[in-house]
Amino acid sequence: MSGEITDGERAPLRELDVVRVVALHGRPAEHLTLMHVQRPPRVGDVGTVVERSAGTPARYLVESVTGEGETVWLAEFDPDEVELDADGGAR
């Protein structure tokens, strides 16, 4: 199925799913894929799955944006660093 991302036991994530950062392996800045962002990701941040990166294990490319649509960060995560956000990003 196109856009489906699976992590073994966890529920499948799909592109455009809203996820919450639940852990950071290493320094937060090591996750960033762009240099010109507002800040590195933090545990508790919410973002949207953009795509699945190639490789084993697969990684998630996730973007977090402001209410005005500006990128806060665009970062890669291991599967156990993010989970589906039960609130759908609502605050």
Model confidence at 59, pLDDT cuts 50, 70, 90, reads confident
Q: Where are the domains of the chain?
A: 4-84
Q: Which CATH architecture has domain 4-84?
A: Roll (2.30)
Q: Is the pLDDT of residue 50 over 90?
A: yes
Q: Rounded mean pLDDT of 3-31?
A: 77
Rounded to two decimals, the pTM is: 0.79
**What CA–CA distance (Å, rounded) separates 31 from 40?**
8
